[in-house]
Chains A and B, each alone.
Chain A
Amino acid sequence: MICNSKLNKTMHPNNYGNTPPKPGFLPAKMLLIMRLTAVLLLAAAMHVSAAGLTQKVTIAKKNASLEQIFEILQQQSGYSFMFNSHTLANAKKVDIQVNNATVEEVLKLCFSNQAFTYVVKDKVIIVTPKEDDGAGAFNAPPPPPQHVTGTVKDEAGKPVEGAAVTIAKTTIGVLTDKQGNFDIAVPTAGGYVLEVSFIGYKTVSKPVTVGGAGLTGVAITLQAATTGLADVVVVGYGVQSKKDVTGTISSVKGDDIKNLPVSNVATALQGRAAGVDIISGDGAPGSTPSIRIRGTGTINSADPLVVIDGVPSGGLNDVNPNDIASVEILKDASSSAIYGTRAANGVVLVTTKKGNYGEQLKTSFNYYTGQNKPIKYLDMLTAPDLAMLKKESYTNDGLNVPTIWNNPYYSTQRTDWQRALMGKGTVQNADIAVRGGNSTSTYSVSGNFYDDKGMIPNSYFKRYSFRINSEHKLGKRIVVGENVMYANTDGTSPDTRSTQAGLVWSAIRFNPAIPVFNADGTWGTSQADNQLGDINNPVATASEKDAYNKNDRLLANGYAELEIIKGLKLHANYGYDQSTGDNYSFNIAMPTQTRGPSISSLGRSFSKSYSFLEEYYLSFNRQVAPGHNLGVTAGYSSQIFKGNYFSASRSGFSDTSIDQRVLNLGSSQGNGGGNYNAAGLQSAFVRANYSFKNRYLLTATMRADGSSKFEKGKRWGYFPAFSAGWRISDESFYDGRIKDVVNTLKITGGWGQLGNQNIGDFQYLSGIGYGGGFGYSTGTGTVYQNGSAITNLANPNVTWERAVMTNISLEFALLKNKVYGTVTYFNKNTSDMLVPYQLVETFGAQTNLPDDGGNITLPNQNIGQLNNRGVEIELNYQGKLGKLNYTLGANGSFLSNKVTKLYGKSTYLAGSQYGRENVDISRTYEGQPIASFFGFKTAGLYQTQADIDKDANVANDGNKDNIKPGDVRFVDINGDGVINDQDRVNLGNPNPTFVFGFHGYLTYKGFDFSFNFAGATGFKLYNADRLAGLDATQVFNWYADQKNRWHGAGTSNSIPRLSNANLNNNYRSSDLWVQNGAYLSLKSISVGYTFTKIHISDVVLPDIRLYASSYNLFVLTKYSGYTPELGYTSGNLQRGVDVAQYPQARNLTIGASVNF
């Protein structure tokens, strides 16, 4: 009946008396145990003195067992008891009646005339049989225990004090003494497994055979695990001991990210690894974040390659986070070059949990449930204020006030549309896994259900996933295995990007005097007056939404490994990855809504994409001569990608009941479409690792990659990489004081080239359009015939993007290897970046021409260059304070991003323009960070007419007479006295220059506590929603800040006067809308308690962990919008622009995990 036996210092073999406990069987009352454990913890936490036993208790009990008395004592005094209830059953019953007696007095009474005695440790009273008691007290004397003794030392040979030595599958355990010695008693002779664990070291399991005379001199050496230095990390096509790694790899263990209420593994990685920036999409259920490793390396797809169990595959979306054993992020060229083709943006290797050889079947079940809520709402004007300000805006322009603003109905507050739209969401997750193995096979089976109902009605994401894998040794030389994942996802999320129909955008702007429902039960609408704006009741839109996006994903691979000779293995790996999409969207007619469709329509589409992977490689790993270790991996890989889709739509549904929304019933045929595509990759790769005396490490990698996207002759790219490492701390000269401070020191450096082929297919060929749009008439009767013409120009020279990366890294461990850290500098130059051909007027008609004809689009050209460089720091600390064990980690990355070459100095790539104002927000110029903000600088507002008259900025401006006090003073950058487009400049960088995170994991007895902060600084955000929300020309509701507008000298210097005419163009893109984006967010926090080895009479209950956790509990920021985590809105060319995205939710969950 010992809880947490491994760490319980009160335990001693002698405490067990002479009754041998059956393994796994120690009867007791569960409740008591639980309480006892709790009290033990409490006692320690409060440092209550053990002296005394002076607490007063009152007991009246006849013929009570000692156990019953202990229970009462415990209730009244807070003291806990520890005893073997099996032996205690032999104790005599007692009669006891005391009033206000001390505990000590009661105990004396109880133990008089008993074969037991007790000792007090802290607040725990430990009951033991009297050693010198005669055998007559017991019915059947058990055989004497056998003692196993030995010593536990660390790698350096120093004794380890306080290591827990336990007998596997029993509760028997001791702690080592100062000399590292232990003496543990086993009930009988036989075979046992000793498990030795100590914080900061890897647990050692050692089988022992105990003879009749016990066993002495068992020597156990613990290997440091603190630093992760001894860990094995997954690298491309293999694993490597972390200490031998010469590249830069961040590793996140599955345990660190389990049970977070997020649908996507990537979300859980935020703040976990240096140099890995997880950029939230938005808060919609199932939303996929962007992963940027070492900055945005290209204007094209900058997503890293994701490899799941060896299969380069699509996204992480379908993987249950709780199935993940580890995520390795290959950041530098040396480690990722083996994936040459697709590695320019880094590689994310996901390894799922497997069973272990020789491991008993283990089952784990996990469930959590919780709520999502908006973190904040924006302050909008109430109806009376809005009417008042609308009147002011017309009056300011000398115009008649539209009658609606004098109508009392529209000065009455009825609805807070944000709260009406965004309320409570729920999330729940259940998964179960069974894993185990015998000496020749392993297996793992798991299933998962995840259900996220968003804050906005009818936005949801559901996932059912199932995973199975196994591995088998067929004889001594052959290993075969497979991984199979099937996932079904179902989700829909509303439009929250558009400034026509965006739901959040509409909720912010919908007139607050309009009710959600009219008195007659119909949806409130803005149709009454143009002044209410051409937007729909967002609650109506959300509630009537009927759409889904279902996806079935099958990801499977089978592999075989043949050991040809010792150290030389042949591997084969075949993978299949298939996604089948099924989309449905029924748009019901909403004639009473301003933008409601007048007829109902239904759109359906099916798509399928799949890939085959075929790989063979040889691996060789051997000591080739004393001190010389060589590892070589060489192989061939090919992957074919195919896909197809078709879609159909119909409109005109007279019956719109839910069960009749099928294409058959639509009265008029809409569009139908379909297509298919194929692409392929073919590669050969080789990697050699060489180490001399484990101190000097070298890695060389080469991958040759062919891609079908390029013209013959341009298809193959060659991607070499080299790296070297020096483990200084293993040198003989590295000793003495420095070794005591810096226990481990390793320097690595590398250089390599990587490729990116993630562009549209067949750009080396010109696209040809065919049909009536290209035809001409000939002949008698003038017969029109189809024709054809070039629609896309070819670039026969289109080829790989390249990234050349240099990497220097220092790894160190301090404080007896408890602090482990790395500092890395990297410099990554992307060259041959594919950018659209710049317009030359001899191409032919362009899409940007007005009128007819413009139908040629331009291919990409390998001309761009981009630089990312930075410093990454990771620090981890593993420590112990009394019974508190903790792991703390911190990481930070400094990053500088710059586009170094486009077409020339003044040329740029444009992000999409914002909203109804077509604000030109983001431009990527040569010499500036990607997606920088662009617009006018401002210098407050004009307060008086005199300000305007004497203002040099507009001295020669033809528009000067139109400027009034209260208008924005734009800065005349080029000094010509005219404010025009020439005065626009870079307004800030949306890419954080410092991204950081810190996380901790603390355990105290059965308690665990973890947290993860993520943050970023050194960047700007563009609050486009605020721009629209203060724009006095917009007919919609305005931000509450509009009350602070300029309405007389000195009233405001940032919010312009209300003018519908807006002759000064106050709402053009300017620094008024640019804000500091820095934030610190508590991404996750979790507290749990694990109940272990609980017994109910003869039944051992499984370990149960109960926990509560929160995601996005708070965010500290000065940014005024919903969230500073805004993500991308126009590929990589626009970032950090607030377009009223689906806001991030704050989430609270509780859950339970059971392991048995």
Chain B
Amino acid sequence: MKFKYKITYSLLLITALVTFGGCNKNPLDQKPTGSYTTGNFWRNQDDVIAGVLGIYNVLYVEDWIGHDLYAFDDQSDDICVDGDHPDFKAIERFNIDPSLQLIYITWPFAYEQIERANNAITYIPKVPVMDDAIRNRSLGEAYFLRAYAYFVLNQIYGEIPVIKEDNVQNGNYNVPKSSVDSVRAFVESDLLKAAELLPESYGDADKGRVSKGAAWGLLTKLYMFEDKYQSAITYGTKVITNANYALAPNYADNFTVGKQESNSELLFAVWNKSSEASPSNQSPISIYFSPRAWQGWGFHHPTQNFADAFEPNDTVRKRTTLLSVGDSIPHQTSLNTIDATNAYQMFAGMEGQQTGRMLPSYSTTGYYIRKYTAYMPNDDGNLNFDLKQPLLRTADIYLLVAEAKIRMSGNGAGDAEINVVRNRAGLASLSNAGMPELIHERRVELGGENTRWQDLLRWDKDKIINLDTIVNKPKAASPLPPYNGAVVIPARTFTRPKDYYMPLPQPVIDESKGIIKQNPNY
């Protein structure tokens, strides 16, 4: 290499070295790119709003609030199971094993909701700049939704592991169960925070979010499960005396598309949206509760005993709650042919005709729950998934307050609250109502809304009722032909205290490596 070239080469190389030198500044300071992580999310108000909507998102899940929780209510005397889920039937008959699918499948989604809430609770306070009202509201929503998941878990399983935000930060998920009382205390503290942070009401754009009323309402319910009557009355009264949470003028408004969005009575509901583009935007509860012949899967059939519970003139609530043979639903367009098995007196002489009325062959009992079925107004025969799924209504709170008052002060103490509910249903007022009246009122007001079994358990624990007398009665169908009062589910046996709670799912026990112990008696 000639000297001249060497000089040129060397200059080039040295230039290159100097250019590249020091190019690796802060090599360890790398940020995730092209995807969100906790390292580059939760930056601003938009992230917070999205993160909170993500918690609500879990409510749609079929195996969780979207339906499967309702299968536990099949243990009550209101409804019986039909369909191809042997695990539902095993639970209904108290033939319960920790490996049952239904025992397991709801569990992880509860913790999914908790996980998302824990993240929101961790990161929302750290967002540097955002509207404080929205920050508070969002935190309140997260606390409420976490409390709700624990409240449900506690009702079903009793003692459960409590994962809080610091468990998430430490990656410490394998923790022992907390006692029933401490789970409830945790729910209470979350709900108190939520009640503090949440607004009383929302503008048009945010309807459907939980409010102070939802937190107060759930607190009322929690206190009733803890037999803290005074607290129940305190928080329940905040709900029932607040115009933002007034009862809907018509009972049916709570279950009617178009009447729900501005319905002050719906303290908490799954805010479904019919959407072809994104089928996850809705809870599948309509499918599970609607007749198979009419686009549903028809898993739960009300008993004659429940139909009989309605007072003769309680037609508003009965018509809204129960679909009986011969009934039709607006915009329901699937027509079925009346054949020999359907030709009992209501359809006598109509054989061979097609009808949009409920036929006897649809149901094992002669009834369906009517509250979750609506059809598209365009008459395409499809279920209308705009129907919201109520989870907590002001009417429930009225009755809880009434119950607290009766249990604290004796018969008649809750008359005022009971009568508000009765009058709205078009029924006459009662006086000097005691627990039997209260129990009756809750059953018919809240029928099909997954409250009956938990109420019965609560009253049995407090020895207000004896569950044996209820469970020992077979579940029977309508006395009308072709059912002729047939026994659908034979008499069952309730075992105390075992059947107060479900066992923890077997995988939960197995995978915890001894950290989590099974509930007693399983």
Contact = CB atoms under 8 A, between A and B. Distances in A.
Contact of A574 (B16, B51, B53, B209): B16
A638 B26 CA distance: 9
B51 A639 contact: no
Interface stretch (B167-175, B292-300, B319-327, B401-409): B167-175
B375 interface: no
Interface stretch (B113-121, B447-455, B491-499): B113-121
A794 interface: yes
Contacts of B49: 785
A673 to B, nearest CB: 10
A930 interface: no
Contact of A778 (B38, B209, B505): B209
A640 B62 contact: no
Contact of A788 (B1, B51, B271): B51
B515 to A, nearest CB: 9
Nearest to A766: B38
A769 B508 CA distance: 26
Contact of B1 (A438, A682, A841): A438
B206 A778 contact: yes
Q: Residue among B54, B61, B271 with the most chain A CB within 10 A?
A: B54
Contacts of A612: 20, 23-24
A786 B53 contact: yes
B517 to A, nearest CB: 14
Interface string B241-275: 00000000000000000000110000000011101
A678 B30 contact: yes
Interface string B9-41: 110011011001111101111111111111101
B84 interface: no
A438 B20 CA distance: 29
Which residue, B20, B60, B204, has most C-beta atoms of chain A within 10 A? B20
Contacts of B116: 789-790, 844
B62 A852 contact: yes
B273 A572 contact: no
B492 to A, nearest CB: 28
B16 A853 contact: no
B348 to A, nearest CB: 43
A572 B34 CA distance: 34
Nearest to A574: B20
Given A777-B208, A853-B58, A853-B63, A842 B271 contact: no
B260 to A, nearest CB: 9
Contacts of A777: 208, 271-273, 281
A794 B1 contact: no
Interface string A818-845: 0000000000000000000111111111
Contacts of A851: 62-63, 105
A240 interface: no
Nearest to B169: A796
A637 B522 CA distance: 60
A784 B278 contact: yes
A842 B27 contact: no
A482 interface: yes
A781 B109 contact: no
A856 B115 contact: yes
Contact of A707 (B28, B52, B61): B28
A78 interface: no
A680 B24 contact: yes
Contacts of A443: 1
B354 to A, nearest CB: 34
B280 A841 contact: no
B47 interface: yes
B4 interface: no
B28 A784 contact: no
A840 B33 contact: no
B32 A765 contact: yes
Interface string B154-178: 0000000101000001110111000
Given A480-B14, A772-B278, A856-B112, A574 B21 contact: yes
A767 B35 contact: yes
A239 interface: no
Interface residues of A, number: 87
Interface size class of B (residues with CB under 8 A): 35 or more
B29 A680 contact: yes
Contact of A767 (B36, B171, B505, B512): B36
A677 interface: yes
Contacts of B31: 678
A827 to B, nearest CB: 29
Interface string A1038-1069: 00000000000000000000000000000000
B207 A779 contact: yes
A841 B52 CA distance: 22
B161 A842 contact: yes
Contacts of B36: 767-770, 788
Interface string A738-779: 000000000000000000000001100111111011111111
B104 to A, nearest CB: 8
A782 B505 CA distance: 36
A140 B182 CA distance: 120
Nearest to A775: B53
Contact of B17 (A470, A572, A788): A572
A788 B50 contact: yes
B499 to A, nearest CB: 22
Contacts of B278: 772-773, 775, 784
B47 A788 contact: yes
Contacts of B109: 844-845, 853
B57 interface: yes
Contacts of B209: 778
Interface string A599-616: 000000000000011100
A465 interface: no
B386 interface: yes
A472 B10 contact: yes
A558 interface: yes
B173 A787 contact: no
B507 interface: yes
B9 A472 contact: yes
B108 A844 contact: yes
Contacts of A681: 27-28
Highest count of chain B CB atoms <10 Å: which of A765, A838, A840, A843:
A840
A708 interface: yes
Pick the most buried of A775, A797, A841: most chain B CB atoms within 10 A of its CB. A841
A797 B261 CA distance: 46
Contacts of A440: 1, 6
Nearest to A786: B50
Contacts of B170: 796
B186 interface: no
B107 to A, nearest CB: 6
Nearest to B105: A849
A766 B170 CA distance: 12
A142 interface: no
B30 A789 contact: no
B63 A776 contact: no
Interface of A: 438, 440-441, 443, 470, 472, 474, 480, 482, 558, 560, 572, 574, 576, 612-614, 638-640, 674-682, 706-708, 715, 761-762, 765-770, 772-790, 792-797, 837-846, 849-854, 856, 859, 861, 903-904
Top 5 A-B pairs, shortest CB-CB distance: A680-B27, A787-B53, A765-B37, A675-B34, A789-B54
Given A682-B28, A852-B63, 19 more contacts: A638-B24, A762-B37, A762-B39, A765-B32, A765-B37, A772-B278, A774-B53, A774-B57, A776-B53, A777-B271, A779-B204, A785-B49, A841-B512, A843-B173, A844-B108, A844-B116, A853-B64, A859-B171, A903-B513
Interface of B: 1, 6, 9-10, 13-14, 16-17, 20-24, 26-39, 41, 47, 49-64, 105, 107-109, 111-112, 114-116, 119, 161, 163, 169-171, 173-175, 204-209, 261-262, 271-273, 275, 277-278, 280-281, 386, 505, 507-508, 511-513
6 contacts: A558-B13, A638-B24, A676-B33, A778-B53, A787-B56, A844-B109
